Structure 1
């Protein structure tokens, strides 16, 4: 869709005798929507930690936005993650005594200055403007996850990175969250989602399958992309 935004070149992650990742090569363009799948122990978590600037490779390089981040210090990686990556986790990690809009503003605090108007715009993007003043306990699981997506969006990241973002949701809320990703993707967002769920994996434009630390399949799903999304998000 766009320019190259992320490139992993010959990336390996080695822990003693264990090769968690072995010689991974992956290119992601701006506006892509990827799913990363594979059995437990396949290297998904290691890969997302490296892409999300939470870890560095033992070998190879990671180029994000034209900058090689593979040898950066922990402090530098924290800044890159804050500025360039929007993280969405399986666990919502919302602060229980803050409202939805305040939870979004917390992310601004660590980046620049809290701005309630901007935070409200982020909630509007995920369809939650009417729930802005509600506490997490007053929101459904799907609504809480959409607050997390708004929080991830607030600093205009280059990549939205989801780690099992639908793992704690029932089927209805999973469909709502996937539909949120669809709308963000239509607006130009670059999305990478690690998932165990074949249905969530199948709605991405491209599916990367890992096994024993290696990419064993790289599937272009653009031909069935729209149809799979309609089936998944139909309520």
Structure 2
């Protein structure tokens, strides 16, 4: 069984505006897939559905054996907390918490904060020496690496990265993509949502969304 499977998924806004049309997709455990397309193509809608932030209008989305199309909104929140680690373009770090405290906050909503484990997560992304710094004291690249550590802290089955290098300069983009390569080599399943051909090329597989329709990218 695939880790993630979408079967004939469509999404209509206001009951009539199509955002996704009959999307089918299978993602195996350990895959690194880039979902690519221009602004307005349906990428964000697809990410919200896969990330348990929204229900599709029709079709089925099966994540780790659970048909999330049939789960309540409260159930989606629990699935997102238990199964998915999300890396946001805008970071979404809590400004008055330090780097390590931001990671511990994610632990709190899942189980129990563990500072030692949170520090180890920061060390994994090369930020052990920045643990006690506030987000405002970190560069954009450092904030994104904190986000990656936060996404990993609850051992998700799927890492979902939304334009993970969109706010970074070239040097920090390379640092972040290096971490994704390391995670992929360790066996993590990664979905990268991006409009960047350069970022998409880093993945082992690419799909294109255009006007709500999905197709495999040419290799």
Report SS of the residue matched to 2:70: coil
1:217: Cα distance to partner?
2.7
The TM-score with structure 1 as length reference comes to 0.90
Q: Where in structure 1 do 4 or more consecutive aligned residues deviate above 6 Å? A: none
1:11 aligns with 2:13: no
The TM-score with structure 2 as length reference comes to 0.96
1:219: Cα distance to partner?
4.4
1:126 aligns with 2:95: no
Alignment of 1:18-29 (within 5 A): 18-29=17-28
1:117 aligns with 2:116: yes
CA distance in 1, matches of 2:180, 2:51: 18
CA distance in 1, matches of 2:56, 2:136: 39
1:176 aligns with 2:203: no
Alignment of 1:90-109 (within 5 A): 90-109=89-108
Report SS of the residue matched to 2:216: strand
1:202: Cα distance to partner?
0.7
* Deviations 1:18-73 (CA, angstroms, capped at 9, x unpaired): 21111100000111111111112111011000000001111110000011111211
* Deviations 1:126-170 (CA, angstroms, capped at 9, x unpaired): 121121122212211111000001001000001000111111111
1:97: Cα distance to partner?
2.0
The number of residues matched between the two structures is 218
* Deviations 1:154-191 (CA, angstroms, capped at 9, x unpaired): 00001000111111111111111111111111111111
Alignment of 1:56-75 (within 5 A): 56-75=55-74
CA distance in 2, matches of 1:49, 1:78: 12
Which has the higher relative contact order, 1 or 2, with Cα contacts under 8 A spaced 6 or more apart? 2
Match in the other structure for 1:214: 213
CA distance in 2, matches of 1:197, 1:106: 31
Structure 2: where are the runs of 5+ without partners?
A: none
Structure 1: where are the runs of 5+ without partners?
A: 221-235
Match in the other structure for 1:154: 153
